[in-house]
Chain A
Amino acid sequence: MWKIAWRNLWRNRTRTVIIASAIAFSYGLMLISMGVSADSYARMEEKAREATGGSVLVHGAGWWEGQGSDVVVADPEPVMTRAEAMPEVEAVMPRVIINGLLSSARGNEAVRLSGVVLEREQALADLREDLVAGEFFSEELDSPVVISEGLAQRLSVEVGDKVVLTASRVDGEVTRALFYVSGLLTSGMAGEADLQAYAPLKLAQEAVGMGDALTQVGVLVSAVEAQNEVIAALQKVEGAQALEVLSWQQAVPEMSGLLEFDAAVNGIYFVVIFLIVLFAIANTFLMAVMERVREYGLLSALGVGPGQVGRLVIWEAFYLALVGMLAGLVLGLTGHLTIASVGIDMAAMGAGDMEMAGIAMNDLVVRSHLEPGRWLLASAMVLAVVMISAVYPAVRAMRLAPSQAMRFYE
């Protein structure tokens, strides 16, 4: 029977080639799309993790709403010690975040100053990569600060110039602190990233009278799956009741929501493609069955049971799926490997100033990443769609009464 099915497939070559091409293109493009989507989501998540400060973020309770200097992690030691002891944790980054005003002789600008330990931040992002002038925290300067190019332009300052930070102290009093511009960062885009400035952690703590307290402890976790475990562990440390321990997805739900929405839209797109392919194949098979009514009658007369007649149609669908999917695999893998090695520069595609949920997506080069599990799942789905499309024609073939089928053309 499989021999008849295979040869039946090639009786109308043009029709088979058209339908196999539809399967090949659907499957191939789906593989490419899956690879690109998976990689772009990973990169967007990476950007979001960088922007929020890590996979897991520890703050004083309620900090995320107002982001005031008065909400702190008063005793960061237990949190940092516990986090550093966990094998899933790649880096622990203590930070002070100050929302204030930066002033020069030419004017005042809003600023978000992060006090950081540069070496610890390397695990999350190499901040020095974005330097366009000067250096990070020059030892020649007493109070170095690194600001964005845009901020520097608006304040009309250059490397080495003085700027003054005005911000609220922990005790609520307004304070002023003098800094020297040590370096300039690329702005990349207009928005929150343009307001960003960096200073050594100790200086930032001193500027707002924080002592050893921190605004944030960023924790970088090796795998998404381990995030909840780390959160649970940090929620149990001494003094945790005064803390807020969040994943980056909880901290910026808009971003994870956007990614989920995009994935859902992609899912709908695939379903629509699958439905089109399903109906196209079902129609083709139904036509083929109706063209071969007499043959099915003959097979039945010769002793082929209804189930075997149905299987003949299903076999033909299987071969069609096999041919189409093999061609699609070649197409998909070629596309995947090309994009994985060359990459798609989103800036060149007109998405240079893209921002999602307030997070800059500049310098985004998307490649392709195919996970074997998802690839197998997608392949199984395509195969299932083709096989399902043959079910109704197979049932029609099974239901043909042999005596009627043999009279069909008389």
Chain B
Amino acid sequence: MSDSAAGEDAPLIEVRDLERIYHQGEVEVRALRGINLKVERGEFTALAGPSGSGKTTLLNMIGCLDDPSSGEVRIEGERVSGMSRTQAAEYRLGHIGFVFQAYNLIPVLTAWENAEFVLLMQGVSREERHAILDPLFERVGLAEYKDRKPHEMSGGQQQRVAVVRALGSRPRIVLADEPTANLDSATSASLLDLMLELNRERGVTFVFSTHDEMVIERARRVIRLDSGRVVADERDEGA
């Protein structure tokens, strides 16, 4: 598909023949070996696999955080791999929300300031920021925690703020890299349920990397990776 064909007809995410080779001294590490996949709008997809299988590398490629050695990534038909760092940053700002495993929040900003950071960067007015973020804070149960700094909140609360920030920026995709890795089971379940509900309510596409079975069980599609290759692509048709 050419860039001119970009738009509603194209898959939300399309990965073609993606390869990523790292060089560690003399050693060549092939993190991704010819990945091909498509993700449609509104999916709740998990990239599963053991450590070193290439989950995070693939997520970084989709999120324009890293460039492939060969192959390409398209979002809504637009080629996003190979952009300059400034172009990639601008693209992320407008289209992609992130939830990371840890260190998700800027330590010197409060929960509210963290959440509104991307909206501020997008040039959204104060009134609109409140209109977008106030319901989200209510929704994730953190309305009383807006003025707290990250170190004054639990890990689960911090992840919820990260979710608010990711969704508040009105992205096409939310990419979450091992979002529950540092959380206990109950908090993980609560966070996942929240993200699932938001996925259903708002139709936002979520793509996770995880090796947490709880996340895998809740995903409606699981793409299994091993040694940089897709080894299975399972859909929960009943979901």
| Residues of A that sit less than 8 Å from B by CB | 3-4, 7-8, 11, 294-295, 298-308, 401-403, 406-407, 409
Contacts and interface: CB of A to CB of B under 8 A. Distances in A.
Given A303-B118, A305-B85, A298 B106 contact: yes
Given A4-B109, A8-B108, A302 B121 contact: yes
B233 to A, nearest CB: 24
Interface in B116-130: 117-118, 121
B211 to A, nearest CB: 14
B107 interface: yes
Nearest to B103: A294
A409 B103 CA distance: 10
Given A302-B121, A406-B100, A295 B94 contact: no
Interface string B136-179: 00000000000000000000000000000100000000000000
Given A301-B92, A406-B65, A306 B100 contact: no
Contacts of A407: 56
Q: Which 5 A-B pairs have the closest CB atoms?
A: A303-B93, A7-B108, A403-B66, A305-B89, A403-B65
Interface in B33-65: 56, 60, 63, 65
A304 B100 contact: no
Interface string B72-100: 00000000000001100110111000101
Max chain B CB contacts within 10 Å: which of A3, A7, A298, A401?
A298
Interface residues of B, number: 25
A406 B60 CA distance: 10
Interface of B: 56, 60, 63, 65-66, 85-86, 89-90, 92-94, 98, 100, 103-104, 106-109, 113, 117-118, 121, 165
11 contacts: A4-B109, A7-B108, A299-B106, A300-B89, A301-B98, A302-B93, A302-B121, A303-B118, A304-B121, A305-B85, A308-B89
A250 B216 CA distance: 91
A303 B121 contact: yes
A304 B89 contact: yes
A300 B121 CA distance: 12
Given A303-B121, A306-B86, A295 B100 contact: no
Max chain B CB contacts within 10 Å: which of A294, A300, A406, A409?
A406
A307 B86 contact: yes
Contacts of B106: 4, 295, 298-299
Contacts of A406: 65, 100, 103
Contacts of B107: 11, 295
A208 B234 CA distance: 122
A210 B94 CA distance: 95
Contacts of B90: 303, 305
Contacts of B103: 294-295, 298, 406, 409
A403 B90 CA distance: 16
A401 B118 contact: no
A301 B101 CA distance: 13
Max chain A CB contacts within 10 Å: which of B65, B89, B100?
B89
A2 B174 CA distance: 27
Given A4-B108, A295-B107, A401-B66, A302 B85 contact: no
A406 B121 CA distance: 20
Given A401-B66, A402-B65, A403-B60, A303 B92 contact: yes
Nearest to B113: A3
Contact of B117 (A294, A302, A305): A302
Given A302-B117, A302-B165, A403-B66, 6 more contacts: A301-B63, A302-B92, A302-B98, A302-B118, A303-B90, A306-B86
Contact of A303 (B60, B94, B100, B108): B94
